[in-house]
Amino acid sequence: MSSVATVQHAGVHEVHHEHHHHETFISKYVFSQDHKMISKQFLVTGIIWAIIGGLFSVIFRLQLGFPDTTFPWLEDLLGHWAAGGKLKPEFYYALVTMHGTILVFFVLTAGLSGTFANYLIPLQIGARDMASPMLNMLSYWFFFLASIIMFASLFVQTGPASGGWTIYPPLSALGDASSGAVVGMDYWLVSMAMFIISSLLGGLNYITTILSMRTKGMSMTRLPLTVWALLFTAILGVLSFPVLFSGVILLLFDRNLGTSFYLSDIVIAGKILPNEGGSAILFQHLFWFLGHPEVYIIALPAMGISSEIISVNSRKPIFGYMAMVGSLFAICTLAFLVWAHHMFVTGMNPFLGSVFVLLTLLIAVPSAIKVFNWLTTLWRGNIRFTPGMLFSIGFVSLFISGGLTGIFLGNSALDLHLHDTYFVIAHFHIVMGVASIFGMLAGIYHWFPKMFGRYMNNTLAYIHFWVTIVGAYLIFWPMHYEGLAGMPRRYYDYSGWNSFKMFAGLNEFISFVVIIVFAVQLLFVFNFFYSMYKGRKVTNQNPWQSNTLEWTAPIHPGHGNWPGEIPEVYRGAYEYSKDGKEFIPQNVPVGEEETKGH
Amino acid sequence: MSTTAIPTNTKWWNGGRSPFNVSYGKVMMWYFLMSDAFTFGAFLISYGTIRFSVNHWADPNHVFSAFPFAGHANLPLAFVSLMTFILIFSSVTMVLAVHEGHRMNRKGVEKYMILTILGGLAFLSCQAWEWTHLITGDHAVLVNGQIEHWGTTVSKNPWGPMVMFEGKEVATPGPIAFGGYFFGITGFHGFHVFSGVIINIIMLIKTRLGHFDQRGHYEMIEKAGLYWHFVDLVWVFVFLCFYLI
Amino acid sequence: MSNAVSSPEITFPHEHPGGTKRIWKVFWILSVITIIELAIGLTIYNIHKEPNPNATLVLAFKGMVCILTLAKAYYIVSVFMHLGDEIRNMIMTVVVPLCLFIWFLLAFLWDGDSTKHLRNTDAHSRPAQVEQVHQPAAVDKDAKK
């Protein structure tokens, strides 16, 4: 038997070997099956979406901050949606909805895990490519299709979907409910179905590749934490997106075929609808069965990336590797069990709600373990404040600030007061929005030299970091205060209420900061594209002196990643400052004198 | 069995091999099926949720009591049993095709693939008949004090609670979601059967062309088989949820 | 019998059992279970015909069908899909995530039941008044018109 085994081992590395003889522009840049190119496609598409989604937030923040001012240029940009330079309420809701949809799905799901899972998994586990490069390519193109459909929905006569990114029926199920619910909603649903197919194809590939394609010696406990995080992200996606898929299909039926899955007892303009017996709460259950894991689909890659970067740039092993993996696993499992904590005020059974409170608060435990381990990794480290490192530390900071308010919201008694206020907005923007953006930016700064063979400009990066972190806190910190005072979400104009008049100045201030922070993101985009062509060239194969396998590949790896044999792995990913050596890459064999560890 | 020959101290997770001793394609197929199980699971569970949330639900023994060419005979469960057996039988022929594939017996694979495809088509025909019968069926329903005649569709459910009307028992409209879920879920399952038949036809053609003999293994047949059995598995639960309870 | 390895990451080639006896055995098991299920289904049908159907008995029968269905699922997955022949790692990677269905099912049905209660009591503002509707015996509705 063992002879059979050896023969097959020799074979595993030769599978995807050297099949890139005559690459045309199309096969190299468009329908590429190279995981590195697909990753860059995801990244660039994600950045474009981030600019669009960010711009939307600037526009609706203008309305919130300056409700009495008109901006004539808005009419040039949005046409009849901003006639006379004043944003229409219908389009305000469309902007909020699209901002959420774009950032949550297109930027922080596809853009974040699409980019880094594709780029890092094969390189860090020592594989020539994904298990199925073909499906990987299809994954991007389904995402592209979803993007096109969503983008097209911005231009339909009645406007894009405007029922909130959670598309709760009946608002999303009835064309009469709002202008965005006419055609825009159908575009949204079809786009999301394409997106789910894309994420499924990607996720299947990521899981299978991580489990089956690791190089010799790369045991599960030697995997870099990025790979672990991406594995759990993919598991979350593969098991929870189908539930949204079902929910979306049923919603499409309700919209177009006259079924009553979610509709019951509805009167519109004095007319009683024939729909009977459906349950709107059911949709919320189905939505949040995806929706909550989705939060971790967004957050886990950022956690993995930060863990890796913090360890590398503290020149210390990650503190408590197994605890980090265990807490990732715990978060992944709990993510499936807590969905209804988004629904405490919907009319769900309150006793069931209390079970969800218990499960929800359990998440605090693994999250706290992770935070503790990041801080102890930094503790007395020989810290290098590279831009990637700064953004990783920023991630930890934001994760703590946002996570703490999660404990408030997870408690159903407090949630009755805080639900649908700016407190919620502040919470999830900090903990999963901005924090994950920080993780993504950290990853881009850290792996940019590997991706493009050039460095990004550090000065611009430092400006980017400091303005963004200070700006993020200035934007979202005051929102806690507004939310505790009862200021609700999703209002077009607060100036009509006496109780919220006192926040006019604060809202103006927040909008002002939003514009500055958005401008600085454009600086990053400039830095990104400028450095891609004009940045300082990478001359050192391992510029961050990192242990993981991607830095053993050539500066410009071809399709197949390593020109010769795939390196074999002899040690864990985090052996920094050990035995007087600053770092020991994973492919260095264990010496005889070496102290045992990891 | 494969497990008997494997030494117990094999380090499955140390890299350089599949920890499952299974090719990546089959692993992916399994994970895809799990994902699909969650799609179907979500459908069936939301069906259960709606059913739990209303006071009355259509009794399957009354709704599904017809049989082709049997006129108005009351035969509860008979037709759906036929469909179930067709699907079980096509599952057996599929697993036999996989078995012949292991033995590298092209003729055997072809024979059983044809039988499987026929089974799938037979199932689809049955479903077409059942749908037609339900949609075009004509049932007296008391709506706003008047008798109307309804078929079972996604937006009409003539199987509501009975009331007395002019000295006769007559049904009132039932929860609309019944038809939606029935047609939605059996339709989604039927779509899976349909795509399974298409996949099987492609596999049959590839077998005919000798592609698998050239490759030296019939793993594609196994993967198609996994999909086909999954379709059967889903039917087991659809059968339970719509016809039995 | 062939020991052809279809993929290089397979360490030990699968050895496949020679005969088809096991397949046919499972076919008979599945058929018998289905027939039992049908018998139970018809029993429930007949219980419902009575003027005062015993709800507990019906529930017990329905529980039995559910268990029988799970048994069928076990045989299909284990023998037809050959999962039973794989090594433990493979079985676990498929079976363990499916445990998520337990809480998925439980929470959804629980809340569905709660919705019914809310509807019947106008959100606890009045006592429940559900007239016990049961479908009277097979009046053949097709034949009516």
Among B22, B225, B89, B10, residue whose Cα is nearest residue A2: B10
Q: Is C118 on the interface with A (CB under 8 A)?
A: yes
Predicted local distance difference test score (pLDDT) of residue A14 = 42
Among B54, B176, B48, B174, residue whose Cα is nearest residue C141: B174
Helix axes A504-534, A458-484, angle to 10 degrees: 160
How far is the alpha carbon of B91 from chain C, nearest alpha carbon, in Å? 8
Predicted local distance difference test score (pLDDT) of residue A113 = 93
Predicted local distance difference test score (pLDDT) of residue B5 = 65
Predicted local distance difference test score (pLDDT) of residue A2 = 38
Predicted local distance difference test score (pLDDT) of residue A177 = 84
Among A157, A35, A165, A149, residue whose Cα is nearest residue A93: A165
Predicted local distance difference test score (pLDDT) of residue B16 = 87
Tens-digit pLDDT string for chain A (598 aa): 333 333 334 334 444 444 445 678 888 888 999 999 999 999 999 999 999 999 999 999 999 999 999 999 999 999 899 988 999 999 999 999 999 999 999 999 999 999 999 999 999 999 999 999 999 999 999 999 999 999 999 999 999 999 899 999 988 998 888 888 889 999 999 999 999 999 999 999 999 999 999 999 999 999 999 999 999 999 999 999 999 999 999 999 999 998 999 998 888 888 888 888 889 999 999 999 999 999 999 999 999 999 999 999 999 999 999 999 999 999 999 999 999 999 999 989 999 999 999 999 999 999 999 999 999 999 999 999 999 999 999 999 999 999 999 999 999 999 999 999 999 999 999 999 999 999 999 999 999 999 999 999 999 999 999 999 999 999 999 999 999 999 999 999 998 889 899 999 999 999 999 999 999 999 999 999 999 999 999 999 999 999 999 999 999 998 889 998 999 999 999 999 988 888 999 999 988 777 665 4
d(CA A402, CA A396) in angstroms, rounded, equals: 10
Q: Which of C1, C87, C119 sits opposite B6 (nearest CB)?
A: C87
Helix residue ranges, H only, A113-183: 115-125, 133-153
Amino acid at A131: A
- Sort out which chain C residues have CB atoms less than 8 A from A234's CB and list them: none
Predicted local distance difference test score (pLDDT) of residue A16 = 44
The verdict on a CB contact (< 8 Å) between B38 and A131 is no
What are the φ and ψ backbone dihedral angles of A581, each rounded to 5 degrees?
-95, 140
The residues pairing with A299 across neighbouring beta strands, listed in sequence order, are: none
Residues in B lying within 8 Å of A, measured between beta carbons:
5-7, 11, 13-20, 24-25, 27-28, 31-32, 34-36, 38-43, 46, 49-50, 53-54, 154-155, 173, 175-177, 179-181, 184, 188
Q: Which residues 99-138 of A are in CB contact (within 8 Å) with B?
A: 125-126, 131-132, 135
Say yes or no to pLDDT of C2 above 50. Answer: no
Q: The tokens of A567 are what?
A: 């390196």
**Which ipTM was obtained for this model?**
0.93
Say yes or no to pLDDT of C1 above 50. Answer: no
Residue of A nearest to C9 (CA): A12
pLDDT in tens, C62-98: 999 999 999 999 999 999 999 988 999 999 999 999 9
Average confidence (pLDDT) over C24-53: 91
Cβ atoms B157, B170 nearer than 8 A: no
Predicted local distance difference test score (pLDDT) of residue B2 = 45
SS3 string of A4-59? Answer: HHHHHHHHHCCCCCCCCCCCCHHHHHHCCCCHHHHHHHHHHHHHHHHHHHHHHHHH
Among A186, A177, A169, residue whose Cα is nearest residue A283: A169
d(CA A265, CA A376) in angstroms, rounded, equals: 56
Q: Which of B15, B35, B42 sits opposite A216 (nearest CB)?
A: B15
Under DSSP, is residue A296 helix (H, G, I), strand (E, B) or coil? helix
d(CA A423, CA A433) in angstroms, rounded, equals: 14
Residue of B nearest to C13 (CA): B2
Q: The tokens of C73 are what?
A: 């699922």
The verdict on a CB contact (< 8 Å) between A238 and B35 is yes
Chains touching chain C, criterion 3+ CB pairs below 8 Å: A, B
Among A537, A543, A552, residue whose Cα is nearest residue A585: A552
Residue C134 neighbours by CB under 8 Å, 6+ apart: C48, C53
Predicted local distance difference test score (pLDDT) of residue A22 = 66
Among A324, A433, A448, A434, residue whose Cα is nearest residue A386: A448
d(CA B58, CA C32) in angstroms, rounded, equals: 27
Burial group, residue C132, by CB count within 10 angstroms (0-12, 13-18, 19+): exposed
d(CA A427, CA A20) in angstroms, rounded, equals: 48
Q: Count of residues for chain A?
A: 598
Predicted local distance difference test score (pLDDT) of residue A597 = 54
pLDDT in tens, B37-70: 999 999 999 999 999 999 888 888 888 888 888 7
Give the burial string for A236-262 (b: 16+ CB within 10 Å, else e): bbbbbbbbbbbbbbbbbbbbeebbbbb
> DSSP character for A267?
E
Q: Which of C4, C38, C119 sits opposite B77 (nearest CB)?
A: C38
d(CA A440, CA A303) in angstroms, rounded, equals: 10
The verdict on a CB contact (< 8 Å) between A348 and C114 is yes
The verdict on a CB contact (< 8 Å) between B88 and C143 is no
Residue C27's H or E segment, with its range, is helix C21-49
Chains touching chain B, criterion 3+ CB pairs below 8 Å: A, C
Neighbours of B191 (CB within 10 A): 11
The verdict on a CB contact (< 8 Å) between C145 and B139 is yes
The verdict on a CB contact (< 8 Å) between B176 and A219 is no
Q: Which residues 5-24 of C are in CB contact (within 8 Å) with A?
A: 5, 8-13
Under DSSP, is residue C75 helix (H, G, I), strand (E, B) or coil? helix
Neighbours of C43 (CB within 10 A): 14
How far is the alpha carbon of C65 from chain B, nearest alpha carbon, in Å? 7
Q: Which of A212, A281, A337 sits opposite C115 (nearest CB)?
A: A281
Residue of C nearest to B234 (CA): C73
Cβ atoms A320, A369 nearer than 8 A: yes
What are the φ and ψ backbone dihedral angles of A336, each rounded to 5 degrees?
-80, -10
The verdict on a CB contact (< 8 Å) between B184 and A249 is yes
Residue of B nearest to A249 (CA): B184
d(CA A404, CA C60) in angstroms, rounded, equals: 47
Under DSSP, is residue A277 helix (H, G, I), strand (E, B) or coil? coil
Q: Is A218 on the interface with B (CB under 8 A)?
A: yes
Predicted local distance difference test score (pLDDT) of residue B195 = 97
Kindly list the structural domains of chain A, giving each domain's residue range(s) and its CATH number in brackets, ordered by start.
Answer: 33-573 (1.20.210.10)
> DSSP character for A453?
S
Cβ atoms B238, B181 nearer than 8 A: no
The residues pairing with B141 across neighbouring beta strands, listed in sequence order, are: B148, B171
Q: Which residues 511-570 of A are in CB contact (within 8 Å) with B?
A: 569
Which of C11, C86, C106 should be substituted to probe chain A, the one whose Cβ sees the most A Cβ atoms within 10 Å?
Answer: C11
Half-sphere exposure of C74 (CA within 13 A, CB side): 8
Cβ atoms A514, A57 nearer than 8 A: yes
Among A103, A141, A538, residue whose Cα is nearest residue A298: A103
d(CA A524, CA A526) in angstroms, rounded, equals: 5
The verdict on a CB contact (< 8 Å) between B162 and C9 is no
Say yes or no to pLDDT of B181 above 60. Answer: yes
Predicted local distance difference test score (pLDDT) of residue C54 = 86
The verdict on a CB contact (< 8 Å) between C9 and A12 is yes
Alpha-carbon dihedral sign for residues B184, B125, B137, B237: negative
Residue of C nearest to B224 (CA): C81
Q: Which residues 48-77 of C are in CB contact (within 8 Å) with A?
A: none
Rg (CA), chain B: 23
Helix residue ranges, H only, C76-127: 88-98, 100-120
Q: Count of residues for chain B?
A: 245
What are the φ and ψ backbone dihedral angles of B114, each rounded to 5 degrees?
-60, -45
Neighbours of B199 (CB within 10 A): 18
SS3 string of chain B? Answer: CHHHHCCCCCCCCCCCCCCCCCCHHHHHHHHHHHHHHHHHHHHHHHHHHHHHCCCCCCCHHHHCCCCCCCCCCCCCCHHHHHHHHHHHHHHHHHHHHHHHHHCCCHHHHHHHHHHHHHHHHHHHHHHHHHHHHHHHCCEEEEECCEEEEECCCCCCCCCCCEEEECCEEEECCCCCHHHHHHHHHHHHHHHHHHHHHHHHHHHHHHHHCCHHHHHCCCHHHHHHHHHHHHHHHHHHHHHHHHHHC
Q: The tokens of A459 are what?
A: 């000065």
- Sort out which chain B residues have CB atoms less than 8 A from A336's CB and list them: none
The widest CA-to-CA distance across chain A, in whole angstroms, is 85
Kindly list the structural domains of chain B, giving each domain's residue range(s) and its CATH number in brackets, ordered by start.
Answer: 19-128+153-159+175-244 (1.20.120.80)
Is the previous residue joined to A170 through a cis bond, with omega within 30 degrees of 0?
Answer: yes
